[in-house]
Each structure stands twice: as C-alpha cells, then as structure tokens.
Amino acid sequence: MSSTEKTVLIKPSLSEAQAVELVGQLYDLKVSSVQPLPSYIDQNFHILVSETKGTGDHSNGYILKVLNTVDSQDADLVEAQTRIMTFLNKKGFPSPTTIPTVDGKIMSLETIDCGQEYKTHMVRLLNYLPGIPLAKIPPGPQILYKAGRTLAQMDKVLEEFQHPTLKSLQRDDYLWSLSNTHLLVKYLYAVEEGSNRQVVEQIIQQFKEKILPNLSRFRKSINHGDFSHSNILVKPVHSSADHSNPTLPHQELEISGILDFSDMSYGYCVYDVAISIMYMMLESNNPISVGGHVLAGFESVTPLLPEERDAVFLLVLCRFSQSLVMARYNILLYPENEEYLLTTGRTGWKRLHQLWGLGKEAVEKVWFETANSYCT
C-alpha cells in the first residue's frame, strides 16, 4: 500500500457470486465451488471448476486474486510481479503460474460494482499450489534452514530476470519496504500509549541513526519482500501413509509453494533474510534460535557482508514494528478483517519485547553460534 493512502478504503469487497461471474466471463470456466481466503489488503478465492481447459493438472483448482485499488493502478508493477512468478517457476521454484484469460492476457483490469460505487481492480487467476502453510506448524531447524537457503537461491536467480517492466519495482515510497521504516511514525497513533509504542519509537530512532545513513554499504537485490511463514507451503518429503501429515513433529518437510509476490521491490539482500527471520519466529517453540537456522541456510548460498550481518538484528526489529503497527492501523479501516490482521500480533508483541529485552549482543551470539554449527 502506498504511504500516501491513509484513509481511503482500497481493499476489494467482491461477493462469491461476483467471483464466480468473473471466472466465467474472463476464463470461460464453470465454477463448482468458491471459497473466500484470508488476505491482508487484496481479496482471494479458492476456485474449483467442473471443467478444465488446456493441459496440466488443475484438480486442486485455482486462486482468483483481486488486487486492491492502489496496486491495480500500476499495471507495470503487477505485470513485473506476475512475470517473475512465471520466471521462477520455469527455474524450478514452486511459485504460482497464471492462467490466461480467453483473449490471452495474464491479467485483466475490471470495473466492479462494489455496492455504493464502482471500483477498478486488477484480476488474475493462478494455479492452486498444494501444501500446508508453514504458519500452521512450529518450524524446526531443518525447514528453517531450507527456507533460508531457498530464499537466497531465489534472490540469486532473480539477478538474471530481465523485462521492460522491471523498473516498476523501484518503489521508493512503498511503506512495506524496510528502507521506509521511519514512515511508521505517521501511523503510531493506532497503537495504544504504553510500552509497545515506546519500543517502536526507539526502534524507529535507531533505524534513522544506524541503517538509513548506511544503505549504500548493503548489496542491492530484488526482494520478494514477504518470504513469511504464511507465504511458504510445505509438505512431507516422504508421502507414504506413515509420513503424510506435515504437522507431525520430527517430520522432514520440503517447500511445495512460494506465495504472494505483491511486496516485491528493489531493495537489499539483507532485507529478505531479516523479514523471513521475523515471521519464522512467530510460531516457533524456540524463537530466539530461529535466526541462526535461517541465516545458515541463506549464507550457504549468499554469505552476508560484515556490515549486512551487523544490521540483521535491527532490521528484524524494524519488520516487527512495521507488521504490528500497520496491523493496528488497518484494523481501524477494516474492522471486519480484524482476526486476520491480528495474526502477527498474537505473538508478535511478545517476540518483539523479548528481542528488545535481550539486546543485540545476546541475540546475535545465539544466531551466529547456531549458524556456525552448520559449518562444523
């Protein structure tokens, strides 16, 4: 969401009937089942159809993704994100691919009746990926390492991506970029007075003093921007009856899906690893150790520079601050979506205070000793 969009309601509000109509109109598919899915600022539906077109197995159905009104205005950005998904899929990553419309388009800008007014939303149909969100499983060291390694491999492969729309990823005013952590001050009023707000204020000040002046020392890259436990699907490595439940402890897992490329932007490679560490901590039974496993996986592909490593702790705190503050702000706009928006907040404030209380030196000791243990 653009930092200039403060009070305008931009989230789509399609009914299930409208979703069915769109799928029929744009893709000539007969819908047999439609199920709304949770989403932050867009709208998603799981679509099953009675007939499929073309080749490939689509028995799991499709995802109809309707973008918010702000992102829908930037066709180049949406196209870049969509083409990156296809590019990564061809490179062997389990990213979604788009289903073309009846006239061969990878996306379609639609004017939709939203009750009191008509709004314009970009619409895409994606293949549905199997697996269970990592958010539903306390992540163990093995899958954390794989997540970090996969993230670094993805960032590295994206160095090869070329397309005329690529410049649209230069999102200088994008609120969710870690480079814009200082812009959170505009939204702090949504957080009650007290220790939560005080900690975030101190983190923002540290960001302005320690990160913002030193961005030129970090290596640039294309960021996924939200490589989180909610956007990673997993499944058991072994698919026999005895090893079919990915929620069982000590189960070896593999990544079966990488979702949600809407936060992609030009940034710095250290951003992606910090963002991932933050979200992986939320459901972990041993949250402080998470960073070490993710770092070990990431650095097995892309070792961080000393100045990048030194910034990870504060950048993790910055992402906690972004996620927690913006959730409180968006609840004011979309109270009906409160349950989903509070997903991070259920454990996030506790994790943030835990990191803040322990301090950089103590947390880094755990992280770096854990990461180094993979080298011995």
Measure the CA angle with vertex 331, ends 281 and 291; round to 5°: 10
Nearby residues of 359 by Cβ (< 8 Å), 6 or more positions away: none
Sign of CA dihedral 131, 137, 143, 149: positive
Alpha-carbon gap, residue 344 to 127, rounded angstroms: 27
Alpha-carbon gap, residue 63 to 239, rounded angstroms: 25
Helix (H), strand (E) at residue 256: strand 253-258
Give yes or no: 113 in active site: no
Alpha-carbon Rg for the chain, nearest whole angstrom, is 20
Alpha-carbon gap, residue 312 to 275, rounded angstroms: 9
* Residue whose C-alpha is closest to residue 374's, from 296, 291, 290, 304: 296
Nearby residues of 354 by Cβ (< 8 Å), 6 or more positions away: 287, 288
Alpha-carbon gap, residue 340 to 76, rounded angstroms: 29
- Beta pairing class for 118-127 and 31-37: unpaired
Please report the DSSP string for 95-114 in residue order. Answer: ---BPP-TTS-S-EEEEEE-
- Beta pairing class for 220-223 and 108-113: unpaired
The catalytic position among 226, 260, 263, 272 is 226
Active site residues: 226
